Structure formats: C-alpha cells, structure tokens
Amino acid sequence: MLPNPEPVFSWVHGGEGLVGWGEAARIEVKGADRFAAAERWWSELVATAEVEDTIGRPGTGLVAFASMSFADEPGSSVLIVPRVVVGRRDGATWRTELHEGDDAPITPIVQPVRRVRVTRYSEGRLSVTDYRKAVARAVERMRAGELAKVVLAHDLVAETDSPLDQRFLLQNLAARYPSCWAFAVDGLVGATPELLLRKTGETVESRVLAGTAWPGSGESAESRLDSAKNRSEHEFAVRSLAETLRPYCTELDVPQTPSVLRLPNVAHLASEVSGRLDPAKTTGPGALLRLGHAVHPTAAVGGTPRTEAVALIAELEAMDRGRYAGPVGWIDARGDGELGIALRCAELRGSLVRLFAGCGIVSDSDPDAEVREAAAKMLPIRDALESA
C-alpha cells in the first residue's frame, strides 16, 4: 500500500512492478521534440547521479516514471523521479531511496485511503452526440479514400464529493484488472491492457491490441472479433508497430494470427511482438524513450497513414487529449523499462475526474456501435470510482 495520497506513482501488473512516492526531480516537455528533450534530461541526470545498486536488474537503481502527451501540440509530457521506489519482480523485492547530501532516511507517514462518492457525471469537451457525428464524418472521409483508419476518442467528467485519493482508484483497478498495467503518473491514473514497449537489455516486446467485442453485442466474442472490420483494424495496428520498430532491430517476430485477450468488460484481438534490438541504435539511458518516439502513435491509437490520421483526430475531436493514449510507464538508468499506452484512464484534478475512451474507426464502422464500444471501455474507471 502506498503511504501517501499524492504524489504517487505506479506501474503494476499481476502483483509485480514498481510503485513510488514523493518527488525528487522532474521535467516537463512539449512539442515534436518532447521525446528527445526528455531523453537528454534523463541522460544528463543519470550521468551526474551517484547510485548504489547491488541488485542490478531492470527497475533497480535510478528510475523515472514517464507520461508523454499523445500529440505534439498542445499537451505537456512529464518525466518524474520519485523520492522512494519499491519494486517486486520474480520473487525479489527492493526499495530505492534518493537523498541529497546528508538527508536522513525517509520515514513515510502512512495515511488511510480516502473513499469518495461520485456526485454526478457530465459531458466532457466532446459530448457523446458530437462523438457519434465525428465517427460518421470519419467514415465518410475514409470511404472517399483519404485514409484507411483513424482512432477517435471522447471524454466524460465525473465529480466526487471530496478530492479523489489516487490510491483508491489504483487499488480498485489493480484488483479488477490484474492482467492490465495499473499506472499512475502525475495525476493520470488507469489500467491499460496495451504494452507499447518493454526493453530488457537487447530484447524488446510489445502487446498490440486492436479489435474489440463487449458483452451485449449480440454475438460471441470470437464471432464479433472475427469480423472483417476487427481483423483489418488489428492488421493496421500490428503493421504500424512492426514497420516503425523494425529499423531498430536485428530480428523481429510478428505473429501471423492474433489471439484473444479477455477482460472483465471487453475482449480484444492481441498480438505479442518480440525482437532483438540493434545495440548500435538502442544504447544509453534514454534508449526506451528513443524507441517510444519511433513507434508512437501506432495505428492502435492514431490510425493509418499516421500523419493523415493524427491530423484528422485534431480536426474531428477538437479537444486536447493531453496524455491520454500517449506512452506511460518507467525507465531506468540502463535504458530498460516498460511503456504502455495510456488507455482505460482518467485525469485527476481534485474532485474532477476526466475519463477517456476511444475506438478504431474504419470505412465500414457503425457510429452507433462505436458509441457503445467507447461506453464499454469507460467501465473500468467508472466501476473503480463507484466501488464501495
């Protein structure tokens, strides 16, 4: 259990991962060069830090939590080094503390988790009605041949009776979705099922998700996921990840056939991609950020072709996604770490909680079905908020 309400940090999957609290250092970056700026800052910090790491495995020693904006503009990205990090992996548990000079050991004051009650929901910056219209317009544009796929999202705002304790949300998400990565970085909290990149030495892995079925859709998950719409949506996502990652690899294994990932609220087509990195292109403390820059956004959250899809998102959504659908996770001093895609998440600001959900749109998408799918994808946060 994290001791304090904020600031807290989390990247937990199946009871393993990293959590942290306090803030020792941070940088906020914007624009098209935000990944490069974050990489420079991290490399400089690693070069000047004195680190005692007797374990020497991914996630030990100096660690930063990252949350990058979806788009170049607007949006702000952040890299934060916690004062304390606790990790657990493969039966080993460790604790890392950061000190300046002769700082005394950190003794946290444990505060109980505050429960909240949702008092009301209201439309976000893009209402459900306007989201349906945006999907319909996107379908028209794709049928006209402008692009092949675009991922559109909308938001919803929840108000709570007191400022939301991030640990309350994290605890409920981690318990309900152990196969997802429960994350918290600088007020963005969620449980993502999609792993953008995991770098461990010269090994790289990714879990690509695209194509969705949900309860009440009138067919079995397998039947709905086997539709031409879901298959093509998934193929676009896998192809975009492979094409952008391959230049950094000496080997890349891309499955020919996806599997089905079942979650309590939805089921997805999933492909586990893995490869061996080229050391000449992926060395240094910022290597994971360099790879993240190369592959983001994949067609799973942007579209195909990438440039045209991102431009259409900005036009049709007409809202700032912020760090929703951007890379989120952690990086260590060796350049190893994990970045997921910030999905099934909410932006927390006191008693206001901004929820997000998006869907992949192709030329034969049904706007009404996409509205229902987005509603299903918001259930993890809504259920976690409303849990007793």
Tens digit of each residue's pLDDT (9 = 90 or more) over 132-161: 999 999 999 999 999 999 999 999 999 999
Q: pLDDT band at residue 212, thresholds of 50, 70 and 90?
A: confident
With 0-12 / 13-18 / 19 or more C-beta atoms within 10 angstroms meaning exposed / middle / buried, residue 362 is buried
> What is residue 230's predicted lDDT score, i.e. its pLDDT?
86
Helix (H) or strand (E) holding 327: strand 327-332
Question: What pTM does this model have?
Answer: 0.94
| pLDDT beyond 60 at 219 | no
Average pLDDT over residues 359-372: 94
The encoded tokens of residue 29 equal 């970056």
Catalytic residue check, 194: yes
| Residue 149 is among the residues annotated as catalytic for this protein | yes
What integer pLDDT is reported at residue 368 of this predicted model?
96
Average pLDDT over residues 222-251: 90
Task: Label residues 14-34 b or e (16+ Cβ within 10 Å = b).
Answer: eeebbbbbbbbbebebebeeb
At 25, give phi and psi (nearest 5°): -160, 150
Choose, from 6, 149, 317, 370, the residue flagged as catalytic.
Answer: 149
Q: Which domains does the chain possess? A: 8-101+119-386 (3.60.120.10)
Alpha carbons 68 and 327: distance in angstroms, whole number: 5
Task: State the pLDDT confidence band at 101, using cuts at 50, 70 and 90.
Answer: low
pLDDT of residue 217: 52
CA distance 317 to 343: 17
Mean pLDDT for the chain?
92
Set 6, 39, 194, 370: catalytic member: 194
pLDDT of residue 159: 96
d(CA 213, CA 116) in angstroms, rounded, equals: 31
- Name the band, by pLDDT with cuts 50, 70 and 90, for residue 227: confident
